[in-house]
Structure 1
């Protein structure tokens, strides 16, 4: 029958106590999904354009040149058609790569306080005196 004392020349007792041991475990905390979506923005650009206009220029014929007209010159009605041109902006879209987006996981290490209760054995001595006499 054991009474908690070790046997030997001296009487002794082993005192024990709990110690806190903490390990870490890995568990899923969330997910990240990378996705693209399209937004539309209005863009205003200034584009230089040109167009043709007509100008009437009147050049008087010098007085000395009147005799150079052919004798068979007659008065008649004539029409000349002149086509005028103008530039207009021509819009076209092109898709070009502008940026590469990467998602990487990084490990961030911090500290977290853990509080636990531990039990300890205490030794007490109860001295009982025998008075015989």
Structure 2
């Protein structure tokens, strides 16, 4: 038996965020002489998680079916017809009772 289930699962992913830093009296000199601009590239790999749904059948229990015969009684109600037949036969003593 299978059931379709819809459930929310937590996933993570990396995102790029640009942080801005205000220029203050303490960092003004460093801001006035920034590092030299080069042709070097900076590459960042972003990762993202995704849910994986998988099922696997693992035997955990066996089931055996057997039959048993049960005897009981039930009460039945109805009409019963009884017929009696009278026969006139000669009794010669050879008949077994």
TM-score by length of 2: 0.51
1:95 corresponds in structure 2 to 57
Aligned length, in residue pairs:
83
2:24 corresponds to: 62
SS of residue paired to 1:67: helix
Change (3 A) 1:65 1:42: closer
- Structure 1 runs not aligned, ≥5 long: 1-38, 120-133
Are the structure 2 counterparts of residues 40 and 68 from structure 1 closer, same or farther at C-alpha, using a change threshold of 3 Å? closer
Is residue 13–residue 48 contact of structure 2 (8 Å, CA) maintained in 1?
Answer: yes
Taking only aligned residues, the RMSD between alpha carbons, in angstroms, comes to: 4.1
Q: For structure 2, which runs of at least 5 residues remain unmatched after alignment?
A: 77-82, 86-97
Q: Match for residue 22 of structure 1?
A: none
Higher relative contact order (CA 8 A, sep 6+): 1
SS in 2 for 1:63: coil
> Structure 1 residues 111 and 51, CA, compared in 2 at 3 Å: closer, same or farther?
same
Deviations 1:12-31 (A, max 9, x none): xxxxxxxxxxxxxxxxxxxx
Shift, 1:73, TM fit? 5.0
Larger Rg, first or second structure (1 or 2)? 1
